[in-house]
């Protein structure tokens, strides 16, 4: 039998099929170009296990660091992409992201640098601070009862970090529902994804700085009685004891089970016990209230959707290849 010719219509058909296959494979990948799960397989195969061991160590000392590591990923990726810029120190001529109002009380930076030092001992100049943040957030979430997810690596570290960038990009804790939707839409996330990632507030703690407007300045009057009327009355009294008017530095847990990743956050919001305005506002919209109600129930898809949201967030604005650098220490550019 004569073989089919590779020219003419057959060749065109083969080309179309191959192109469709390539496009389908590309579309199926949940990771940004340049990232892969086995990125350090040859250059630093122990990278993930080193990060995991240190996260375990930190959580044994203070289980609430899980919230800190989650917050670091969000506050890094939301400002110019996942490039480790949130870790950089200010200089004489530049106020870095950590000095932003919205980053008040940011924790975990020294711990990330400790992980980095261990990686530099094992694999000098290989693993980026940006990747450490992504791994630490995933590992910490899983270790306090939350979901786990596959992590693609290969990010490189950026050098551009300003307080203005952070205050311009990150959502302030006084935004209403439409403001939150707009903030997340600017990064390519929908309203449901915004409500899902708000579930990170199921772990962690906060300084009173971000809570005071909810208790004393809900309508702009700035007095002791200007409290969100939708807040549970007994809960408001409880919060005011922990966060007296004008006290910005006291710290409180932001969830009734703040050391465990669970669905209690959504139950609290439904009961009028959201810590921030951005928590309480989730149920001021009927679509938002429906999602919150769904996520508050056992066997809901919250864990699965949260994991997917963290993977998607980890793709934002990544530097790969020869872009950026691999810092020697996370708080300083090389």
Output the known binding site for Ca(2+).
76, 79, 81, 83, 85, 97, 202, 255, 257, 262
The one catalytic residue among 75, 101, 207, 214? 75
* SS3 state at 252: strand
Cβ pair 67, 252 in contact under 8 A: no
Cβ pair 55, 111 in contact under 8 A: no
Q: Is position 75 annotated as part of the catalytic site?
A: yes
CA-angle at 49, arms to 139 and 62, nearest 5°: 45
What does residue 226 show for φ and ψ, rounded to 5 degrees?
Answer: -85, 65
Phi/psi class of residue 303: alpha, beta or left (left: φ > 0; alpha: ψ in -120 to 50)?
Answer: alpha
Angle between the N-to-C axes of helices 177-185 and 191-198, in degrees from 0 to 180, rounded to the nearest 10:
100
- Cα–Cα distances (Å) from 291 to 4, 49, 69, 125, 282, in that order, read 56, 36, 25, 44, 9
Question: What's the chain's length in residues?
Answer: 334
Biggest alpha carbon distance in the chain? 91
Annotated binding residues for heme b, as ranges? Answer: 201
Cβ pair 46, 52 in contact under 8 A: no
Alpha helices by DSSP H, the chain: 8-28, 47-61, 65-77, 109-122, 129-143, 163-169, 177-185, 191-198, 212-216, 233-242, 264-270, 277-280, 286-295, 302-313
Beta bridge partners of 156: 319
Annotated binding residues for substrate, as ranges? Answer: 171
Under 8 Å CB-to-CB from 195, ≥6 apart: which residues?
282, 288, 291, 292, 295
Q: Which one, of 206, 243, 205, lies nearest residue 63 by Cα?
A: 205
Known catalytic residues? 75
């Amino acid at each position: 039998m004569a073989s089919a010719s590779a020219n003419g219509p057959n060749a065109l058909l083969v080309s179309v099929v191959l192109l469709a296959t390539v496009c389908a494979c590309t579309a199926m990948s949940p990771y940004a170009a340049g990232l892969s799960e086995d990125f350090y397989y040859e250059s630093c195969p122990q990278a993930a296990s080193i990060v995991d061991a240190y996260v375990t160590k930190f959580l044994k000392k203070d289980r609430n660091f899980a919230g800190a590591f989650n917050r670091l990923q969000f506050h890094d990726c939301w400002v110019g992409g996942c490039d480790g810029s949130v870790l950089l120190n200010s200089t004489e001529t530049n106020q870095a992201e950590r000095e932003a109002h919205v980053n008040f009380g940011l924790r975990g930076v020294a711990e990330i640098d400790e992980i980095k030092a261990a990686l530099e001992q094992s694999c000098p100049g290989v693993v980026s601070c940006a990747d450490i943040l992504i791994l630490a957030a995933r590992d910490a979430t899983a270790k306090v009862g939350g979901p786990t997810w596959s992590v693609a690596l290969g990010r490189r570290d950026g050098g551009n970090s300003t307080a203005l960038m952070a205050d311009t990009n990150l959502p302030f804790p006084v935004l209403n529902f439409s403001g939150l939707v707009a903030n997340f839409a600017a990064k390519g996330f929908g309203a449901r994804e915004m409500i899902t990632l708000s579930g990170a507030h199921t772990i962690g703690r906060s300084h009173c700085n971000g809570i005071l407007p909810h208790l004393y300045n809900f309508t702009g009057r700035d007095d002791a009685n200007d409290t969100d009327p939708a807040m549970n009355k007994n809960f408001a009294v409880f919060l005011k004891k922990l966060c007296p008017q004008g006290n910005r530095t006291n710290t409180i847990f932001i969830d009734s089970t703040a050391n465990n990743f669970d669905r209690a956050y959504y139950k609290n919001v439904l009961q009028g016990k959201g810590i921030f305005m951005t928590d309480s506002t989730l149920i001021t919209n009927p679509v938002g209230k429906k999602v919150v109600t769904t996520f508050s129930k056992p066997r809901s898809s919250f864990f699965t959707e949260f994991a997917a949201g963290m993977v998607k967030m980890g793709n934002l604005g990544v530097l790969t290849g020869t872009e950026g650098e691999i810092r020697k220490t996370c708080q300083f550019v090389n």
